[in-house]
């Protein structure tokens, strides 16, 4: 038995659309398929403008330029996130200011944001972990009170919503990912959602190497030229064609993922009742997208034994994140405000289970082995793999699936 942690799902129409892009003879960006994808996103999210990018990282970088981040400006974010959340701002000279996460959703603790605001604060970057929304009402209120921008890192949030509003469409800007580990994929891929009219025109130019090329193609200017800073942030048509096949099936993909997620959730009630694990918590106002299923084990040692045990059965499980505030780069360029107790403790205890379309038939086996590995982890003596050295080895081992 070899059950990977992730397996990209193909709808079956990807190559058909790729062959159409090939036949169209337009392989650079912003052709028919890019426009279809942008239109789909705008319609689904209600955002003023959606711009396909070659990654969520790229979308965050555009957002950082739009937010006019200058050296020394501060950006408040969780430490429990992927590196791009911080890197996009550090590239502009910004200082990531890390605050702790909530114990229930593992999202930024909105009650700790105000204490981190200084005269240098420019933006708040809520990360919707596992496609479960942050408390956006509170965050938007804090931002309004202090005249700050909100840039949602909705990398994991496609097809998820908060009080009925799609993730990425609530802040001034939002960034989505279509990386192959996400629900809707194009290998690498992403999009910037622009929700504030002040930024729509400039976003287009930054994405197109700082030129007004998009305006030129719409016939709004008679020649295009260099007007701003920018870079090459748009994907080619082959990627967009692939993504279009996924977008067409986005509802069905999400339904099937939610079904797998619900099976895990139902089966692990007993383990939670026995205090052997904690299951994910989804607040009532959040409609999630089953991006991931994770368990919180009681300790780092038990998690290490759990992962090792499942590996022996051929089931790959992974953990993340190494908190940014304690990473070498985070220590160098960022700062943590207040206690990071939840971030430190929960990142040590979290383990992600396989969740991909096509694993339906193996679900019973996985659930059975997970249950027995939890029991094994809580009863065994600590092994070599359970110390901090073991943790570092596992970090290397899961590099490919770190997202």
Ligand X SMILES: Cc1ncc(COP(=O)(O)O)c(C=O)c1O
Binding residues for ligand X (CB under 6 A): 55-57, 81-82, 84-85, 127, 153, 155-156, 177, 179, 190, 403
Query: For helices 300-312 and 363-379, what crossing angle results, to 10°?
Result: 140
DSSP string computed for 74-142:
EEEEESSS-HHHHHHHHTTT-EEEEEPBPTTT-SB-GGGTGGG--TTEEEE--B-GGG----HHHHHHH
Q: Locate 388 and state its tokens.
A: 């901090």
Least distance from ligand X to the Cβ atom of residue 8, Å: 13
Least separation in angstroms between CB 175 and ligand X: 7
Place of tokens 């939002």: 174
Q: Which is nearer to ligand X, 82 or 244 (CB)?
A: 82
Closest separation in Å from C-beta 178 to ligand X: 7
Instruction: Say if CB 194 and CB 214 are below 8 A apart.
Output: no
Q: Decide whether 108 or 374 has the Cβ nearer to ligand X.
A: 108
CB of 185 to ligand X, least distance (A): 10
Nearer to ligand X, 38 or 156 (CB): 156
In this complex, which beta carbon is closest to ligand X, that of residue 172 or of residue 179? Answer: 179
Residues 152, 126 contacting (CB under 8 angstroms): yes
How near is the Cβ of 321 to ligand X at its closest, in Å? 9
Nearer to ligand X, 56 or 159 (CB): 56
Distance CA 64, CA 72 (A): 13
In whole angstroms, the minimum distance from the beta carbon of 52 to ligand X comes to 12
Residue owning tokens 């969740």: 355
DSSP H or E stretch at residue 72? none
Closest contact distance (angstroms) between CB of 172 and ligand X is 17
CA angle 56, 354, 384 (to 5 degrees): 105
Cα 397 to Cα 319: distance, rounded to the nearest angstrom: 10
Considering beta carbons, is residue 171 or 390 the nearer one to ligand X?
171
Q: How far is the CB of 314 from ligand X (least distance, A)?
A: 25
Residues 6+ apart with CB under 8 A from 3: 314, 315, 316, 354, 359, 362, 365, 366
- Taking alpha carbons only, the member of 383, 371, 321, 368 closest to residue 348 is 321
Q: Which is nearer to ligand X, 79 or 304 (CB)?
A: 79
Give the nearer residue to ligand X in terms of CB position, either 327 or 362: 327
């Amino acid at each position: 038995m070899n059950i990977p942690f992730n397996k990209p799902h193909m709808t079956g129409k990807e190559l058909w659309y790729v062959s159409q892009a090939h036949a169209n003879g337009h392989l650079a960006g912003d052709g028919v398929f890019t426009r279809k994808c942008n239109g789909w996103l705008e319609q689904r999210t209600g955002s003023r403008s959606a711009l396909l990018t070659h990654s969520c990282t790229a979308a965050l970088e555009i957002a950082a330029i739009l937010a006019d981040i200058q050296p020394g400006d501060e950006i408040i974010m969780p430490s429990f996130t992927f590196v791009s959340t911080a890197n996009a701002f550090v590239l502009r000279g910004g200082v990531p200011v890390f605050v702790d996460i909530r114990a229930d959703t593992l999202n930024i603790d909105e009650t700790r944001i105000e204490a981190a605001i200084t005269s240098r604060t420019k933006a708040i970057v809520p990360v919707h972990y596992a496609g479960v929304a942050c408390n956006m009402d509170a965050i938007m209120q804090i931002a309004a009170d202090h005249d700050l921008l909100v840039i949602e890192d909705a990398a994991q949030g496609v097809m998820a919503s908060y009080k009925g509003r799609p993730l990425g469409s609530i802040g001034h800007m939002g960034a989505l990912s279509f990386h192959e580990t996400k629900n809707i994929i194009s290998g690498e891929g992403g999009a910037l959602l622009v929700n504030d009219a002040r930024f729509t025109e400039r976003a287009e130019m930054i994405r197109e190497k700082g030129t007004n090329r998009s305006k030129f193609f719409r016939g709004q200017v008679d020649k295009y030229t260099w007007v701003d800073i920018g870079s090459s942030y748009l994907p080619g048509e082959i990627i967009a064609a692939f993504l279009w096949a996924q977008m067409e099936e986005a509802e069905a993909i999400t339904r099937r993922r939610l079904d797998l997620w619900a099976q895990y959730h139902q089966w692990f009630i007993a383990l939670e009742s026995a205090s052997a694990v904690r299951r994910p918590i989804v607040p009532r106002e959040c409609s999630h997208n089953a991006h991931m299923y994770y368990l919180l084990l009681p300790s780092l040692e038990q998690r290490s034994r759990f992962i090792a045990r499942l590996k022996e059965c051929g089931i790959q499980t992974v953990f993340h994140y190494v908190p940014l505030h304690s990473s070498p780069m985070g220590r160098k360029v960022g700062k943590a405000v207040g206690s990071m107790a939840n971030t430190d403790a929960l990142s040590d205890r979290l383990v992600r289970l396989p969740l991909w379309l096509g694993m339906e038939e193996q679900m019973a086996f996985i659930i059975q082995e997970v249950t027995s590995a939890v029991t094994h982890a809580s009863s065994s003596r600590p092994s070599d793999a359970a110390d901090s050295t073991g943790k570092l080895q596992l970090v290397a081992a899961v590099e490919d699936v770190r997202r």
